[in-house]
Structures are given as structure tokens and as C-alpha cells.
Chains A and B, each alone.
Chain A
Amino acid sequence: MYNCSDLKKGLKLMIDGDPHVIVQYDFTKPGKGQALYKCKLRNMISGALFDRTYRSGESFEPAHLEEREMQYLYQDDTGYVFMDKKNYEQIVLTDDTVGDDKYFLVDNMEVEILMHGERGIGISLPNFVNLRVTQTDPWVKGDTAAGNNKPATVETGYALQVPSFVEEGTLIQIDTRNGAYVTRVKE
């Protein structure tokens, strides 16, 4: 069982018999008052989004979902297409199911697809992915401070802050759990 301190974005819980994923999470607590754990949840079967606020002392059943190793192929009008490498069976995940995970999907990437019967209802991403920078301002010569940053966009359309020395075309590693830059990748 999980308790309130385990709650975080991406955690999967069973609620009323259905698997749910936390898509947004906030913790508030007035100084002398009780903590409120505010979650936006998505029902992984129906796709329904709703808000729930939990209080200390509540506990949660983890959602144990069958995972299948698959390869991401491409995106088309129907959604995101994945293939089981053992039997070549293909499944499609809708935009709503993929959500913000779309920013961390690159062609041919291997991921775990969370299954509900024969249906894919979510993705379990690796903790780190490598993505190429497609747009960022040029490095200003003389700007050598290690801590300086600037906005950048990567090949999936995801925007983040990167160090000033990162240039267009650079392959960078991103932590999928918080969406933050980690390091440049040697090629």
C-alpha cells in the first residue's frame, strides 16, 4: 500500500477498481494546519480526468499492470503506434493516453507498454532519454559561467532550459521524471 508521502506525478493507483495515474501533483500545508495532497488523476481505462484532494492517514492500493516490451514505431492520424518485437503485433495508443510522454518518444525507442487486457493504456518510460536540440540561441562567446541557461526545443517539440554552451544539433540527455536537462551525450 502507498501512503500520502508516496504520492507524486506518474504514480499509478487503483481507485474504485480502475487503474489511475497522477498527472499533476501539489502539496500544500498551512503552517499549523493539516497537509493537503492535491492530485489531478486520469482514469487509465476511460481517460476521464478529475481532481482529488487527499489528507494524511489515507492509503492507496498500487496499480499492478501487465507490462509488454514494445518498440515505438511512428505517429499517425490514429495515434502512436508500437510493436511487440516478439510477435510483431502492433498496438495504437491515443493522444490522450500518451499525454506528455509524447515529448520523450523517439522512433525505434524501446518502452514498456502498460496493458489492460489487449489494450495499451499507458507507457512506462525509461528514466533517461537522449533527444537532439533543434532550436536554441547561439552560444555567446565569452559566456563561460557554468550556471547560465537559455531556452531550447528538442526534436519532439519539448521545450526546456539548457546550459548556454548547448548548441543546435547537440544530443542531450533528459530525465523523464522531472523533464530536466542532465548532460550532453558524446557521439
Chain B
Amino acid sequence: MEPNWQLARKQATIIKRARILEKIRAFFVEQGFTEVETPHRIPANAPELHIDPVASDGWFLQTSPELCMKRLLAAGYDKLFQICRCWRAGERGPHHLPEYTMLEWYRRDCDYYQLMEDCEQLILGLVNNKSWAWKGEKIDLNIPWPRLSVADAFSQHSSTLLSEVTDVNFFSELISTKIEPALPKNKPVFLVDFPVLQGSLARTKPHNPNQVERFELYIAGLELANGFSELTDPVEQRKRFEEEEMQRKAAGKPAGPFPDKYIKELQTLTKAAGIALGVDRLTMLLCGCETIDDVVCFTPEQL
């Protein structure tokens, strides 16, 4: 029998992927970050309307390591990073796997502006060049990368103004169909300052209680990272989680247990910021691969 060529053909990319992981670790270690490992299987994830966790023997597989990592911050740790697996039920497409690799990093006494600079430095270091190409499109990496507010993006690319959007599903529909396709492909862009309904763990803007200090990094139209200044008010956090749970119930989705320890310990956290970046998608960009299938050893269909 001939070796499985659909596995064999990915070998060069898998070798590059291993180098990328090494370089990501080196970048954070160099800057004084500590790599941590928190459990993949947890009693409760942060409730989110559109993220469905996978049940595991009475608990759940993590949809993100954020709750455990922020509990460490609240306990006094600083500058943490983790590279780990996350699971999200039913997500499968050219840019989605139900099990995928996430990079998250957290800083105390910082806000989301620092995280945007971290993204610029991390990715510039990985590319080792001021420009590169993906899907035939040249990408200009000169910093600072443009920052576009969600409100401005809506006035530029949608016939609906952000102020007119009250429904969360309508908001995400416009993001998918109007905003994302209109974002520049030839340079990275930070989409910043989301409505409060779209950032249940993020801190509100100092002068605008309807918006949160949250950003999404897009490169070549690919959504790569989501970062924010962390909400540290336990009362407000409980309220936001309850709102998400209510929306889940209204959508006919099962309610999960509440992450009570997280909410309780949040009161010992002051200022902090954290971010999640999709390692598989970053690898797609860096290796010139067009689908996420090409950058992992096995897709679910290959198991």
C-alpha cells in the first residue's frame, strides 16, 4: 500500500508550523512573559450567544482559556501566554475547525492599545519582512497598522449606521456581509470599539457606556485576533453573563453553569488586557495556504 498522500503532502507546511510555534514562544519569552498551561476541560465557559461548547463527562471542553488565565491575573500573575487547543461545536469551514489552536496573552496595567502593538511586533517578527503576499495579494506591513472604528466602518461600508443597529444578530450579519468583505486586503487593519453587546468580557469606553474597548485584527480579510481591555467589575460581569444566558435561552440553546469563581475573583483584578489569536489562521497566512485543512496534521474528516 502507498503512504497516505493526503497526510504526506502537508509535511513541508507542518514543519514550517512547528518553526512558527517556536518563534511565537521565543517572542513572548524574550519579553518576559510566562507560558502557562490551564486545564482544557472546565466546569463552565463564559456564556456566549453564538459559541457552543462541547460537553465532556459533565464538564465542558474550553472554548477559550480566558477564564482560567484571568483568574491567574487576578491572583497576581502578570504577562502570561498560552498556546492551547479550544473546541467550538459545529464550526467547520475553510477557516474553521471544531478543534483548533489558540494563542492567548494577557498583561496587567495595560489596555487594548498595548495589545495592538504586540500584534504588530509579533507578526512582523514572524514574517521577517515588511511585506508578504497571500492569495496573490501583496500585504504592506509597515506599522502602525490602520485602526478603523466599527462606527466608521458602518458609515463607510453599510447603508445602516451603527447607531441604528440594536439586534445582535443583525449586527453580526452586517459584519459578515458588508464590513468584512470591504476591509482592505493589502494591509492589516484593526477594527476597534465594538458595541457593548458584542464584547461581554470587555471594559466599556470611558466616555461611551455603549461601546467596549475591543478590537479585531484582520489581515487580508481574514479575522485573526480578538483583544480587549478586560472588564474587571464583577457586578457588571455577572449582569453581562446573565444577558448572554437569556439570549441563549431565547435562541433555544442550553444554558451552562455559571463561572462563579471567575466572577468572585474578578474583584481582585485591577487594570488588564488580553487577546486571543488563531494560530492555524496565522499559519495559513505565513505558509501561503488557502484553507485551514492545509495547516493541521489531521482534519476531523481525516480521522
B: residues with CB less than 8 A from A are 1-3, 5-6, 8-12, 48-51, 90-96, 168-169, 171-173, 175-177, 180, 198-199, 216, 223, 226, 251-252
Contact yes or no, B252 A28, CB < 8 A: no
Query: In whole angstroms, how far apart are the Cα atoms of A173 and B109 in the complex?
Result: 59
Note all chain B residues with C-beta closer than 8 A to A148. 9
Contact yes or no, B226 A32, CB < 8 A: yes
Residue of A nearest to B224 (CB): A31
Note all chain A residues with C-beta closer than 8 A to B95. 28
Note all chain B residues with C-beta closer than 8 A to A96. none
Contact yes or no, B252 A57, CB < 8 A: yes
Residue of B nearest to A148 (CB): B9
Query: In whole angstroms, how far apart are the Cα atoms of A33 and B90 in the complex?
Result: 14
Query: In whole angstroms, how far apart are the Cα atoms of A149 and B11 in the complex?
Result: 11
Contact yes or no, A35 B90, CB < 8 A: yes
Query: In whole angstroms, how far apart are the Cα atoms of A55 and B23 in the complex?
Result: 38
Note all chain A residues with C-beta closer than 8 A to B91. 27, 29, 35
A-B contacts, 5 listed (Cβ < 8 Å): A29-B50, A33-B173, A145-B11, A146-B11, A183-B1
Set A27, A34, A163, A184: member contacting B172, Cβ < 8 A: A34
Contact yes or no, B198 A32, CB < 8 A: yes
Query: In whole angstroms, how far apart are the Cα atoms of A180 and B93 in the complex?
Result: 17
CB proximity of B188 to chain A, nearest CB, Å: 16
Q: Is the interface of B mostly helix, strand, loop or mixed?
A: mixed
Chain A 8-37 per-residue mask, 1 if CB under 8 angstroms from chain B, else 0: 000000000000000000111111111110
Any B CB within 8 A of the CB of A147:
yes
CB proximity of A67 to chain B, nearest CB, Å: 25
Contact yes or no, B96 A27, CB < 8 A: yes
Contact yes or no, A32 B9, CB < 8 A: no
Any B CB within 8 A of the CB of A54:
no
Note all chain A residues with C-beta closer than 8 A to B180. 30
Contact yes or no, A26 B93, CB < 8 A: yes
Query: In whole angstroms, how far apart are the Cα atoms of A147 and B10 in the complex?
Result: 7
Known: A27-B94, A34-B50, A57-B252. Is A163-B176 also a contact (CB below 8 A)?
no
Known: A35-B91, A163-B8, A181-B5. Is A30-B223 also a contact (CB below 8 A)?
yes
Query: In whole angstroms, how far apart are the Cα atoms of A149 and B171 in the complex?
Result: 43
Any B CB within 8 A of the CB of A5:
yes
Query: In whole angstroms, how far apart are the Cα atoms of A30 and B95 in the complex?
Result: 11
Note all chain B residues with C-beta closer than 8 A to A57. 251-252
Residue of B nearest to A163 (CB): B5
Note all chain B residues with C-beta closer than 8 A to A26. 93-94
Query: In whole angstroms, how far apart are the Cα atoms of A4 and B50 in the complex?
Result: 14
CB proximity of B96 to chain A, nearest CB, Å: 6
Question: 5 shortest A-B CB distances, which residue pairs?
Answer: A33-B172, A27-B93, A147-B11, A147-B8, A146-B8
Known: A5-B90, A146-B11. Is A31-B216 also a contact (CB below 8 A)?
yes
